[in-house]
Amino acid sequence: MPNIPQVGVFDTSFHTTIPDYANTYPGPYLWKELGIKRFGFHGINYEYCSARCSVLLKKDEFKTVCCHLGNGSSIAAIDHTHSIDTSMGFTPLEGLMMGSRCGSIDPGIILFLEQQYHQSPEEIFKTLNYESGLKGISGSSNDMRDIIDLCSKNDPRAKLSFEMYVYSVKRNIGAMIGILNGFNTLIFTAGIGENSALIRQKVCQGLQHVGVIIDEQKNLSCSGDKLISSGCSSIDILVVKAQEDWCIAHKISEMRSNGLL
Ligand code: AMP
């Protein structure tokens, strides 16, 4: 279709505001010169969620920890509409434990597998991307619905994978609160974040000391975009339905208005 304009909207663009000290890996400086850096992903949805947050909370000054919890999961620290840091990195493998991706692990494990078990780069790629995370630990499924179901049947590996996932989200929320210089909004988005009241409840449990208090009733009855924090929570807790498609369409519409298409 040579006459149809093609537009690329990158999932990484939103994260170009991450400062150098946060997007540079502490390897040799050559890595930086080779372009190895933290790109971050899920940027289209993070951009959408921060715009939506402005509308729903009717405020412009927000410092947000946004949890994109889907089959691929990541967390971003957003200062108003600027990404300050995010958990995914050079590839979507870094950060949180995910459906079948491992998230952050000691890179020494990879060397150990190569040296002691003679695993090839292809085998390790497959393991890290498709045989790890919820699926790897539970041995059953990468789908949180199955994991929750198996937990109710007391499956020990599913229980461990569930606890590890919640722990991984909380640990990363803590890291993002630490670098935001203020924190007033927590967002849950994507398949797990939008649909699992149990995960939202478990993640918020124990975060009262940083002002995160969930309203159990609002959390349980949540559908669509909704504020689920209790009246005494100093942090607004929002559920936002991921809408990358809307955000992409909006960008294209802007380009048309500006005569670029
Ligand atoms: P996404 O990658 O954002 O499309 O999210 C897909 C994932 O969301 C699925 O693999 C499930 O793990 C999860 N999910 C969807 N619905 C639910 C639900 N009701 N409870 C728990 N997890 C869910």
Question: Is the Cβ atom of 191 under 6 angstroms away from ligand 1?
Answer: yes
pLDDT on residue 9: 94
Å from CA of 58 to ligand 1 middle: 29
**pLDDT by residue (tens digit) across 64-118?**
999 999 999 999 999 999 999 999 999 999 999 999 999 999 999 999 999 999 9
* pLDDT for residue 257 is more than 90: yes
Specify the pairing of strand 63-69 against strand 82-86: unpaired
What mean pLDDT do residues 235-255 have?
Answer: 95
| CA-based end-to-end distance of the chain | 16
Whole-structure pTM value: 0.96
Å from CA of 143 to ligand 1 middle: 6
**pLDDT by residue (tens digit) across 199-221?**
999 999 999 999 999 999 999 99
Question: Is the Cβ atom of 99 under 6 angstroms away from ligand 1?
Answer: yes
Specify the pairing of strand 226-227 against strand 185-189: unpaired
**Cα–Cα distance between 42 and 27 in angstroms, integer?**
25
pLDDT on residue 111: 98
Q: Is 60 known to be catalytic?
A: no
| 160, HSE (Cβ side, Cα atoms, 13 Å) | 9
Å from CA of 66 to ligand 1 middle: 17
**Cα–Cα distance between 226 and 74 in angstroms, integer?**
20
**Cα–Cα distance between 72 and 65 in angstroms, integer?**
17
Question: Are 69 and 169 within 8 A, CB to CB?
Answer: yes
Domains of the chain by start residue, with CATH: 13-96+174-257 (3.30.420.40)
Question: pLDDT band at residue 13, thresholds of 50, 70 and 90?
Answer: very high
**Helix, strand and coil in the chain, % to nearest 5:** 50, 15, 40
